[in-house]
Amino acid sequence: MYARLSGVLFPIVSLVLLGSVYWGYQEHQEKNSVLLKAENQYQRAFHDLSFHMDQLNEQLGNTLAVNSTSQAYHRKGLVNVWRITSEAQNEINQLPLTLLPFSTTEEFLSKIANFSYRTSVRDLTKQPLTDKEYATLKTLYNNSKDISADLRKMQAKVLQNNLRWMDVELALASERTPSDNTIIDGFKTMDKKVAEYPEIDWGPSVAALYEKRNVRMLTGKKATPQEIAQKAAGFLGLRDPDAVKVTENGKGTEYESYSAVVVAAENDRNVQMEFTKQGGRLIWFMNPRSTGKVQKVSLREAEQEARRFLKGRGYADKEPISYDDADNSVNITYASVQDGVVIYPEKLTVKVALDNGQVVGLQAADFVYEQHARKLPKPGISEAEARKLLNPSFKMAGMRLALIENELREEVLCYEFRGRINGGDYRIFVNADTGIEEKIEHA
């Protein structure tokens, strides 16, 4: 009996064992294939990064070598600097450096890209490179030479010692990072060296990109928690300020604020708000309730309700500039209006639930930090002259004057033309002084 049973089970067990061995072999092969592919991608990105840093240094040198009156080559050179830097940034993002302190070098490359792009897009025949910008380019040329040399040294070690990037990834992922990893040490040294570079004058347009909003941008006295509770209760139409719980955030820092929470009824969610400490201005409000599945309110009715909501809370004279509906609600963005001109930087967004028309959210950070007295310029060209500059196929549906922020972070007065072309709705902003198309948006 046992002989017959073993005669039946033996081939079965053998097949299972062989199948397990084959499956394990296949898994091992697939794992090795994935690891090899990842290693090849890392190696390609690293060597491409070294190549592009060499190119960046060369292109900066070429741009500095030509005559100061060669605006056409300056533009071409700066565009190439922007393109090469963008490629280098992309290659850094492909390397397993997320756990490595390499942010200083990444920010440095980001500023080079922004500086070269914003300098190249302006009319260099009217605004040629300044002495400060020449000095900045010379500094970037010298700094990029150092970074390029460091990368070439690392590249030589990687090739000479057959170093693997998968070892870097494993080392960074582990809690105890080895101190003798050549690649990790090389990138750490490079980032430390970049951090020690003297401060560079990037110019106002680039510096503005890295300015963070803080209390120094605001006016008014510092509000107390009691005053915030009063403001929150008034905003929500509550009689009892004690129903509002106020918490202070970032005390003693440049980002001081207050969080206000109103405890909701059972089976509902708490209403949340945030105020600036300086001046006690509302940054955002949110009622995170479910908006239901059935739409009972039209977009027109929602816009009317949003306008009433804003007017009743001190946000009068606002013009809708965009709509975005999803999940049975609509976000309507409004901007301030001054002397008939729509002030795009001063914008706020209202969220309206389409099941009953209730306003369930307000985002007012842009309005809070960008609101200030402005002296608006007069248009240098007429509407008719600006309209002639549009594509003849553009079917205009409306026009208004608007103040926008262009790519150089400058506020410029524009004619905003709304209409259709190529089967889509567009907003085209034409500079009211120069006739240049500053911005084109899909409406």
Helix (H, G, I), strand (E, B) or coil at 297: coil
* Residue length of the chain: 443
The angle at the Cα of 328, spanning 440 to 426, to the nearest 5 degrees, equals: 15
Distance between CA atoms of 177 and 185, rounded to whole angstroms? 11
The DSSP 8-state label assigned to residue 427 in this structure reads E
pLDDT tens-place string over residues 41-86: 888 888 899 999 999 999 999 999 988 788 888 989 999 999 999 9
Closest CA to 356 of 272, 288, 291: 291
pLDDT at 269 over 80: no
Confidence of residue 31 (pLDDT cuts 50, 70, 90): low
* Cα atoms in the 13 Å half-sphere on the side-chain side of 59: 22
What helix, strand, coil percent values describe the chain, rounded to 5?
Answer: 45, 20, 30
The torsion of the CA quartet 111, 113, 115, 121, rounded to 10 degrees, works out to -150
Distance between CA atoms of 420 and 396, rounded to whole angstroms? 7
Q: What percent of the chain has pLDDT over 70?
A: 85
The DSSP 8-state label assigned to residue 267 in this structure reads T
Closest CA to 275 of 291, 292, 261: 261
Distance between CA atoms of 209 and 194, rounded to whole angstroms? 20
Helix (H, G, I), strand (E, B) or coil at 143: helix
pLDDT of residue 15: 60
Rg from Cα positions in the chain: 30
Average pLDDT over residues 17-28: 56
Confidence of residue 29 (pLDDT cuts 50, 70, 90): low
Closest CA to 88 of 40, 55, 137, 116: 55
CB neighbour list of residue 326: distance below 8 Å, 6 or more residues apart: none
Distance between CA atoms of 240 and 60, rounded to whole angstroms? 64
Distance between CA atoms of 46 and 154, rounded to whole angstroms? 10
pLDDT at 22 over 80: no
Q: Locate tokens 């990064």: which residue?
A: 49
* Phi, psi angles (nearest 5°) of residue 387: -65, -30
pLDDT of residue 356: 92
pLDDT of residue 268: 60
Closest CA to 218 of 275, 146, 177: 275
Q: Beta partners for 324?
A: 331
Average pLDDT over residues 349-356: 95
pLDDT of residue 43: 86
User: What amino acid occupies position 13?
Assistant: V
* Phi, psi angles (nearest 5°) of residue 394: -75, 120
Distance between CA atoms of 127 and 427, rounded to whole angstroms? 28
Closest CA to 337 of 402, 428, 432: 402
The DSSP 8-state label assigned to residue 422 in this structure reads T
The angle at the Cα of 53, spanning 52 to 58, to the nearest 5 degrees, equals: 95
pLDDT at 32 over 80: no
- Contact predicate 139/178, CB 8 Å: no
Closest CA to 214 of 156, 253, 248: 253
Domains and their CATH numbers in the chain: 19-209 (no CATH), 217-370 (no CATH), 383-442 (3.10.450)
Confidence of residue 203 (pLDDT cuts 50, 70, 90): confident
pLDDT tens-place string over residues 81-100: 999 999 999 888 888 876 66
Q: Hey, which bits of 73-145 come out as E strands?
A: none
Q: Beta partners for 258?
A: 248, 275
The mean-pLDDT minimum among 57-61, 217-221, 255-259, 351-355 falls in: 217-221
